[in-house]
Structure formats: C-alpha cells, structure tokens
Structure 1
Amino acid sequence: MRIIKLNAINSTNSYLRKLSTEDGVEDFTTVVAKHQTHGRGQMGTVWNSESSKNLTFSVFKDVSELHIEHAFYISMVTSLALIKALQSFSIPKLSIKWPNDILSEDKKICGILIENVIKQSSLKASIIGIGLNINQTEFIDLPRASSLKILTGKTFNLDEVLHIVLKHLKEYLKLLKKDKHDILKDEYETYLFRKDKPSTFQDTEGTVFSGFIKNVSVSGNLQVLLEDNIVKEFDLKDITLLY
C-alpha cells in the first residue's frame, strides 16, 4: 500500500483523481494532506479543517468488479470501517447520519466524499475521501462539530489513527468483494442516526415534514415512514435531515 504525504493541497480527492488518470496508481494508494485549501464535502459543501490537527486523506480503490447499482455499498463499507476504527479508540455513541456523516453523541466528527470513476456505464474505480476531526478543539460557527480530542480529552497520533482506519477499510472492502451485501447493509442500518425515531426533514422547496427513518435502499435512498403508513424513498438531493 502506497501512502503519499503532502503538506498542502487543494483537495486530496482532486489530487488522487488527477494522479490516477495521468500516471495510473496501484490499488489502495492513499494521499494524506496536512492542510487542504479547498476540501470538499457532500453536495458541494466545503470541509474546513485546521492544519496538522486532523486527518484529511483519500484512498484509490479499484471497484471494477462491483455492479454500478451497488455503488452505495462503497459508502456503507467506508462508514462501517470508520465506526469500527473509532470504537477501538473508545469514542462514544457513534452513529451514521445518512448517507455517511459519522457522529458521536450527535456531533459530527467525520465526513466522507466518494467520487466514482464510471466508464461506459460501468464502475471502474472509487476515490474515497475522508475528513476526520481529531485534535482540533475549536470549530467557529459549527456548533454541531466535534473531535476525538473534545470527546475524550486525549491527544491522538494522526498516523496511528490513519493506519487503524485503513486496516478496517481493507477488511470491509474484502467483505464487499465477497458479495456480503446483506450483512453490510444490515450492519450499516443498525448505526443509522435517528433510526425508528420521529425525525424532521426539509425538502428542496423548503417544506418541513416529519417521519421515521426505517432503512436505506440498495441504491442508497433513505426510506422514511410517513403519515398513513406510507414508506417513501428519498435521494440525497431531495431532502435534508434536520436534527
């Protein structure tokens, strides 16, 4: 496994994607940056991270054996790998806020951005981007953000955390390669934030409504129980889960 360490880069995902198209990279090549100038999150959001305090890294994974309709399983295994890694550091009350924010005690400690390389309607590779708050203790204008240090009072070694995350990511990707789809989906759903609890959502038109999160579909849509016992599926673009 090749690990490339950079002092500063605009985005580890962008760097790794460019590297893979220009030079080609071996499977599981990982790019780590002390500082990202233009870190990206889901749906075009910005990922802000204090330099040298947190982990910002991307992993290149060959997923050519995975059917395109199962692309969301990459998100599932990444989320589960992070949960397992964080459990080994005794991080409390972990959950996955759909589709793949990692929470502890209802505060966000990790974001995931997965960008798939698709050619001729087939999956070829995936760039798995991870931003994990570790030793940062101040988050200006981000009241729902937290870090491992805030949660435990301990200072963590970034390299140690990185290697633990990568170890679990490899293990979960092996399960995916063995087509353990039902096992992965069931485990992912056990960690869903606010599962089976009354939750509030907002759609693209600004309408606020209530429902109960039940599960996710194979394609990654959120399945929500609404009034009159109707279960409706929502895409990430369609709704936002409000706390």
Structure 2
Amino acid sequence: MDEIEVVVAHRQRVTLRVGDTFLKVDGDPAHHDVEVRAMAMVPVPTPAVLWHRPPVLVISAVPGRALGVLGRPSDASAAAWAAVGACVRRLHDAPVPPWPGTSVDDVRAELDRECAWLLASSVVPADVVRRNREIAEVALRPWTPALVHGDLQITHVFVDDDEVTGVIDWSEAGPGDPMADLATLTLGHEERLDDLLAGYGTDGVDRDVVRAWWSLRSLVASRWLIEHGFDPDAPGCELDVLRARMRDA
C-alpha cells in the first residue's frame, strides 16, 4: 500500500493522499455535492471523480505542480500565469450555475462581523482593520454574477510547461464576483496581477476592485485560519497583506 499523506486536517474536513488518489472527508455533504456538480460543468481541467459516497469524495491527482504557495514568491513563469489567466477567463465566461451564490449583502454582513472580531481580539492594530475595511468597501458594489471558483487560492491551480493541468477544490463554486477570483489568486502575489491579466484580458476588470478584494478576503479569512490551526501572520500571508495596504496609503 502507498504511504498515506495528510494534506489538510482540521475540524471541518480532512484530505488524505494515497499514491495518485485523494480521499476527502467533509462534515458538510453540501460541499462535496457542489464540488462534483461544478467539476462536471466547468470548461477547465479538473480532477477525475473516482467515487462519491457522502461524507467521502475520492478524486484523482492532477499532474504538474501548484502555481505557487502563499507566503513565498511564485517561481512560475509569466507565460504560466498568463495561461492561468486564460483558463480563469474561460471559467468566468461559462454559463452561470443554477444554484444560489453569495450576495453583496451576505459579503457585507460577513465583513462587518469579522472586522468586529478583529477589533475585539487585537490580532492586528485597530487602524489596520479600519483602513482595510475602508478599502474593502470598493468591492461591495453590485456585480454581474459569473461562474466563479470561490476559493481560487494559488495552491489550487496546477501547471506544467506553462500550461494549466488542473484546478482543484471546487466546493465553493457558484455565481459570484469574478474580481474576487482574480484577487484570491493573486493574494500575496500582487506583483503577478499583470501576468495574470495578460491571459485573462482587461475587459471588465477593475483593478481597484481587485485590490479591495485583497483587503476583504484577508479580513474575513483571518479568524477562520486562526481557529483552525493556520497562521495568517506568517510572512506574506493575510495579516501581512493587511499591513501592506497601510504602506500603500
């Protein structure tokens, strides 16, 4: 039997790798339902679903390597980033799925809740929270829903020879703001936004909104990361992103 590797393990889900197979266990069966439905409809490379028996989903590994890791510079080429951009554009141009997405009001309520927690916990100085909350407001405008990944972290996109070989972890896919996907992918790698847009194109892209989503995502993700054993204060990660916005002011 192949050695078992624990990829992710926290209170909500566990992912194990056995050879070229990933076994995912999730306490919320809706996550896997969305993931399986999304991978069946998106026009981009995804893992193959081997079997699905809630709460377990088994998928194949995708070839290549992750585009990068949050907290470290990406050594992927500009051409690889452009290929990812073209891939994400195909995703956003695809038909919007029939299940509900996240509304602007939902995002605003979550943002306000998480900012209140950050202020009460003093994880970062209050002026950092308040300044980033001001920046994040730019993202809270009406958007035309597109099919979005919903959690398009740099580690969820795999490339090989400057081509996209797979996009993983689709449990949050659905109708949403395409600028959020672009921001999540470049979070902590802001210098690669131009490379990404070389493939994605600039039609419909608002850089101010992308920058606003950098602040917004960092504000809303920090508590979850802390409570699930991750460190958003590692160099280049979410709290660094928040502090960087202060330097931009």
Whether these two folds match at TM > 0.5 is no
**Larger RCO of the pair (alpha carbons < 8 Å, separation 6+):** 2
Question: Normalization by structure 1: what TM-score?
Answer: 0.29
**Higher share of residues assigned strand:** 1
Question: Normalization by structure 2: what TM-score?
Answer: 0.29
